[in-house]
A and B are shown apart, each in its own frame.
Chain A
Amino acid sequence: MLRLLTIEFHKLKHNRASKVLSLIYFGLLTSIALIAAIKFEFGNFKLHLADAGIFNFPYIWHFNTYMAAILKFFLLLVIVSMMANEYSYKTLKQNLIDGLSKKEFILSKFYAVILFALVSTIFVFVISLILGFAYSDYNELSIITTDLEYLFAFFIKLVAFFSFGLFLGILVKRSAFAVGAMFVWLIIESIFKGYLFWTFQNAENTTEKVNRIMQFLPLESISNLIKEPFSRLNAVKSAANMMGETFTKSYAVEFSTILIVSFWTFIFIYLSFVLLKKRDL
């Protein structure tokens, strides 16, 4: 495993585009901290985000993982190009001739994906911890360690998303088209969702029924892992309450979603392997 990782790392560390994108990604992750500096002042209305409770433990785990996950597209480019480049440089063929098995080849990419996700997760953990200690109203250990499953969900989310990118990279062999294919797939899922809404328009609990089906689709399940944290914020909640709206939404990380997403991850990696095995290079 270490051998495969060092092989992959060797390929990445000399590639300027990958290095720059990774640096931008981790730079942007760090910049989550800058949210703390956001202050709005409209006459009497003052909003200082850091004071609004977004950095309170345990809410910070939810908020930061959600924000950090948006940045995953930068790493997607790295992942997809690290796969597609092997085709365009024909180095995949050379790697196999040099004695890497097809299984090892896929595994080396998958290990790299896991490593990227792991480093991102640790990064987010450390930043959240620092921000939390700086701004949180509650610093008891029991509160800090609550809701840590968001970090786990974040990790699973990245692994699944990048595995999808890896698979598309192998499938279409060109980085730009692979990213395009992911976008096309997103549109397909959206159209399907629209179709479901149309089908169930007369039924009771339309949204619930649609979601029950949609939760099994790859991108939808990946985005379901960490739900939007904004309506959970006390400030927003109380504002909504004043207007007579109540939220009864569950924000928890669902175990079933983790299962579905892990299943997709397995499918993507396994299909990549099958595809590589069947192809003549």
Chain B
Amino acid sequence: METILSLKKLDKKYGQVHAVNNLSFDIQKGNVYGILGPNGSGKSTTLGIILNVVNRTSGEFSWFNGKLSTHEALKKVGAIIERPNFYPYMTATQNLNLICKIKGISTDKINEKLTTVNLFERRDSKFKTFSLGMKQRLAIASALLNDPEILILDEPTNGLDPQGIHEIREIIKEIAANGTTILLASHLLDEVEKVCSHVVVIRNGVKLYSGRVNEMTASKGLFELKVDENEEKLIELLKQHSAIDKINKEHETFIATLNTEISSTEINEYLFKNGLVLSHLVKRKPSLEQQFLDLTSNN
């Protein structure tokens, strides 16, 4: 597998603040990566470093196995960060023309990419007349101009209305389906869950987890249980069962976390034999949200 980007022990300090702390991970071709972390966890700083706009304090990063200098590599990358930045006095087409000149590519694809993001009709409107959603879509069009090897998106749906969010996500999914490598920074879990195959979780600049989204915790799953009466007995019985790790109560529902894999049938049978009838029983995997909160609060 081809490595597109590799970070080794990257460090960034802003005075006292340690924004990125000893961060290492690799981006392989063809995967969709999410960088997940709460606000201020160092996601944008990390992207800023690899995109040549923030100076690193120490550590290394290399594009395409170090075959290209950073600014040459960036010509093969499509990136949008935080807010779309374009020249307000130029039209959409003029702005994209300029980017073609910077990247040294032909201007043939401008109309095609504008169509992809539904801006073709507004191509001759000045950038300053655009709504935030349109600006963000233009940013995506600009990032796609060179048919990039990797698309880097930093909080692409931040500040958009639900329709705008939906549009952007559809576009991202389409791009991902074409086999483009994507690196998506977000604090929105469902965004990462819906789009990404791999995830890097960071908090306070420290990497907490990196790997496949569905392997994020080695969890065996959990049960949601409810009884109409006799709650003490339920707790008692569950505690005695060897497969159950811990029990929490959330409102009326008990959450039993497992340490070994058992089926709902087994637990139901066990409880029924001991004279307890359940009113509600669901087995499920923990949501990414729970895993994320576990990771970011417990460590």
Interfacial residues, chain A to chain B (CB-CB below 8 A):
3, 6-7, 10-11, 14-16, 89-91, 93-102, 104, 277-278, 280-281
The CA-CA distance from A98 to B76 in the complex, in Å, is 9
Q: Are B85 and A99 in contact (CB under 8 A)?
A: no
Provided the pairs A97-B79, A280-B55 are in contact, do residues A7 and B98 lie with their beta carbons within 8 angstroms?
A: yes
B17 within 8 A of A: no
Q: With A10-B101, A97-B53 known to touch, is A89 a contact of B87 (CB < 8 Å)?
A: yes
Q: Chain A residues with Cβ under 8 A from B75's Cβ?
A: 98-99
Contacts of A100 in B (CB 8 A): 71, 102
Flag the segment in B88-96, B230-238, B263-271, B279-287 that touches A: B88-96
Q: Is B87 a contact of A14 with CB atoms below 8 Å? A: yes
Q: Which residue of B lies closest to A6 (CB)?
A: B101
B48 at the binding interface (Cβ < 8 Å): yes
Do A15 and B104 touch across chains, with their CB atoms under 8 A apart? no
Judge whether B87 and A3 touch: CB under 8 Å. Answer: no
Out of B48, B81, B88, which one reaches A280, CB within 8 Å?
A: B48
Q: Which residues of A contact B72 (CB under 8 A)?
A: 99
Q: Are B52 and A97 in contact (CB under 8 A)?
A: yes
Task: Indicate whether B9 reaches chain A with its CB closer than 8 angstroms.
Answer: no
Given contacts A89-B87, A281-B48, contact A97 B81 (CB under 8 A): yes
Determine if B54 is an interface residue (Cβ-Cβ < 8 Å).
yes
B74 within 8 A of A: yes
Which single member of A89, A101, A280 contacts B85 (CB below 8 Å)?
Answer: A89
What class of interface size applies to chain B in its complex with A?
20 to 34
Number of A-B residue pairs with CB-CB distance less than 8 Å in the complex they form? 78
Tell me whether A98 and B89 are in contact in the complex, defined as CB-CB below 8 angstroms, given that A104-B71, A281-B48, A281-B54 are known contacts.
no
**Contact indicator B94/A95 (Cβ below 8 Å):** no
CB <8 Å contact, B90 and A89: no
Distance, CA A101 to CA B98, complexed state (A)? 15
| Residues in B neighbouring A277, C-beta threshold 8 A | 55
Say yes or no: is B51 at the interface (Cβ < 8 Å to chain A). Answer: yes
Q: Report if A3-B88 is in contact (Cβ < 8 Å); known contacts: A98-B74, A278-B55, A281-B48.
A: no
Tell me whether B99 and A89 are in contact (CB under 8 A): no
Cβ 8 A contact of B102, one of A15, A89, A95, A280: A95
> Which chain B residues border A101 with CB–CB below 8 Å?
52, 69-71
Q: How far is the CA of A248 from the CA of B94 in the complex (A)?
A: 57
* Chain A residues, Cβ within 8 Å of B98: 7, 10-11
Given known A-B contacts A10-B97, A14-B94, A96 and B87 have beta carbons under 8 A apart: no
Contact A99 B71 (CB under 8 A): yes
Q: Does B86 contact A (CB under 8 A)?
A: yes
Bound Cα distance A143, B83 (Å)? 61
A93 to B48, CA, bound (A): 9
Smallest distance from the beta carbon of A218 to chain B beta carbons, Å?
A: 28
- Chain A, Cβ-Cβ closest to B79: A97
Q: For B29, list chain A residues within 8 Å (CB).
A: none
